[in-house]
């Protein structure tokens, strides 16, 4: 059976010691597209869009710091605890989306306090560009030939020739397209419900849909952690469970409080 051969250079271009990688371009590009989404949201709801440039800086800092720390401490703790200075070397790669989300949540709290915004309101609206960034990160993983799927003979399996000659599930694309579909769902909900209910329901929907998708797609991934646990779950699945539980509780709270306010 013929399979897709993926041999794309992860570097978009190289100039001496300077490299521009597809991953970095997609990661930063997703923030600029997300900025456009937030400009639409702020304008639609009568907020000042001039503060959004600073919001992007907060989010990028929170995402990178959180993702780096989670990768180092959850996926390769023995190495990074023995070589702590390596934690600072982000350019070598190694970011975990679970930690990136936690970092963004913390960064948004400080941004909301500084600019006198409602933290729940901001947290709910950032769910829209958040799914876009998650999708672009997975496209970046594809260009890096990383986060590989398990072997597969399906017609759409991909051979990452820079790694080996084994056809594999394109799990990067599975996740990216799942997140783009979630973005569509969240946008439809946002447009069709009241602003007050959107503030309550969007974070819960985001957490449940994103991490349920992540949980099941993990079954088609190779193990990423540098150690193994004696349970039938990957590290990514274990880290997804608290977010799923939090999302379910959040949705139940949103529905309950919404019904109570209409009684």
Q: What is the pLDDT of residue 258?
A: 84
> What pLDDT, on a 0 to 100 scale, did the predictor assign at position 225?
57
Q: Is the pLDDT of residue 171 over 90?
A: yes
Confidence of residue 14 (pLDDT cuts 50, 70, 90): confident
Q: Is the pLDDT of residue 202 over 90?
A: yes
pLDDT given for residue 27 in this prediction: 84
With cut-offs at 50, 70 and 90, classify the pLDDT of residue 69. confident
**Please, what is the average pLDDT of the chain?**
87
The number of distinct structural domains making up the chain is 1
Query: Phi/psi of residue 142, each to 5°?
Result: -60, -45
Report pLDDT digits (tens) over 112-160.
999 999 999 999 999 999 999 999 999 999 999 988 999 999 999 999 9
pLDDT, tens digit, 9 for 90 and up, residues 208-258? 999 999 999 999 998 765 445 567 788 888 889 999 999 999 999 999 998
Q: Is the pLDDT of residue 261 over 70?
A: no
* The residue to which tokens 């958040």 are assigned: 130
pTM for this structure? 0.85
pLDDT for 92 equals 60
Which tens digits make up the pLDDT trace of 74-98? 777 777 777 677 676 665 666 677 7
236 compared with 37, residue with greater pLDDT:
37
Contact between 169 and 157 (Cβ < 8 Å): yes
What gap in Å lies between CA 42 and CA 157, rounded to an integer? 41
Range of the domain at 215: 4-261
Provide the pLDDT for residue 230: 67
Instruction: Give 144's contacts (C-beta < 8 A, 6+ positions apart).
Output: 10, 21, 22, 23, 93
pLDDT at 229: 58
- Residue-level length of the chain: 263
**DSSP string for residues in 95-115:** --HHHHHHHHHHHHHHHHHHT
In the chain, the percentage of residues whose pLDDT exceeds 70 is 91
- Give the number of other CB atoms < 10 A from CB of residue 195: 13
**Residues 6 or more apart from 104 whose CB is under 8 A from it?**
59, 62, 63, 66, 126, 130
* Helix 195-217, helix 235-261: angle, nearest 10: 160
CA dist., res. 76 & res. 69, Å (int): 10
Residue bearing the bigger pLDDT, 82 or 261:
82
Q: Is the dihedral of CA 76, 79, 84, 90 positive or negative?
A: negative
Looking at residue 65, its pLDDT comes to 86
Phi and psi torsions of 8, nearest 5°: -65, 135
Give me 70's structure tokens.
Answer: 């989670």
């Amino acid at each position: 059976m013929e399979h897709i051969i993926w041999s794309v250079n992860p570097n978009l271009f190289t100039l001496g010691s300077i490299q521009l990688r597809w991953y970095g371009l997609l990661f930063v590009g997703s923030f600029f597209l997300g900025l456009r989404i937030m400009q639409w949201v702020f304008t639609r709801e009568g907020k000042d869009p001039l503060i959004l440039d600073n919001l992007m800086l907060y989010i990028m800092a929170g995402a990178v710091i959180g993702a780096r720390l989670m990768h180092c401490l959850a996926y390769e703790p023995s190495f990074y605890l023995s070589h702590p200075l390596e934690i600072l070397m982000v350019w070598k790669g190694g970011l975990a989306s679970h930690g990136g989300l936690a970092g963004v949540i913390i960064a948004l709290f400080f941004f909301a306090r500084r600019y006198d915004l409602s933290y729940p309101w901001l947290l709910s609206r950032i769910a829209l560009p958040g799914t876009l960034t998650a999708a672009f990160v997975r496209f970046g993983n594809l260009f890096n030939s990383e986060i590989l799927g398990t072997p597969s003979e399906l017609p759409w399996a991909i051979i990452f020739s820079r790694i080996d000659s084994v056809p594999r599930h394109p799990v990067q694309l599975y996740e990216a397209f799942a997140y783009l579909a979630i973005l569509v769902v969240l946008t439809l909900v946002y447009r069709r419900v009241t602003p007050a209910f959107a503030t309550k329901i969007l974070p819960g929907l985001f957490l449940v849909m994103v991490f349920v998708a992540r949980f099941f797609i993990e079954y088609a991934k190779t193990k990423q952690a540098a150690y193994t646990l004696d349970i039938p779950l990957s590290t990514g699945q274990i880290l997804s469970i608290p977010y799923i539980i939090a999302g379910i509780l959040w949705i139940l709270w949103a529905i309950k409080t919404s019904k109570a306010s209409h009684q």
